[in-house]
Amino acid sequence: MALGKLTGIVGVGSTQTYEYREFGEFDVAPNSSGEGEYEITYEYWTYFAGQNAYRVYVNGQLLLPDAGFQLNSANWVLSNPNVPYDCINGACRPSSEYNTPGLYPSLSACEVACGTGCSGKCISNKDWLTIQSLASHLKHKNCS
């Protein structure tokens, strides 16, 4: 899964107009192509403000069931697409979370490896304990 936001031109009921909007973050799995890509598809929903309005799906997932978009106006924007990740105790974590090395270039790459036991690139329990110990020692230290 990868966090991202959906943007586009959406019908606004209170004004009976269409406006550009950005919607919060959603967790959507990359498509099965192995490329980690995202595909937007449209489904006719209703007639609104003199136009057809469409529901938008990202990789087959309906994120906003009550929103009608103008056709071809929606975009899927990944949040922090180039943040490196590490597999820690079977879960993918951004390398910045625990200041780990960032063995995987993206969340999707980490999820592939982490799902199969990290493919030999897991941080060992000993290394993890060292990270925790160092973090606790530095917690109250002024490093500036």
120 vs 50 pLDDT, higher one: 50
**Which pTM value belongs to this model?**
0.55
In the predicted structure, residue 120 carries a pLDDT above the cut 90: no
Instruction: Give me the pLDDT at residue 9, please.
Output: 93
- In single-letter form, the type of residue at position 63 comes to L
pLDDT bucket at 117, cuts 50 / 70 / 90: low
pLDDT tens digits, 122-132: 666 677 778 77
pLDDT tens digits, 25-54: 888 877 765 455 788 999 999 999 999 999
Beta bridge partners of 4: 26, 78
pLDDT tens digits, 54-91: 999 998 899 999 999 999 999 888 776 677 888 887 77
Residue whose C-alpha is closest to residue 86's, from 119, 58, 53: 119
Instruction: Give me the pLDDT at residue 30, please.
Output: 72
Instruction: Give me the pLDDT at residue 110, please.
Output: 80
Average pLDDT in the 94-121 region?
Answer: 74
Hey, what are 134's tokens?
Answer: 């160092």
Q: Which residues of 46-56 are buried (b: 16+ CB within 10 A; e: fewer)?
A: eebeeeebbbb
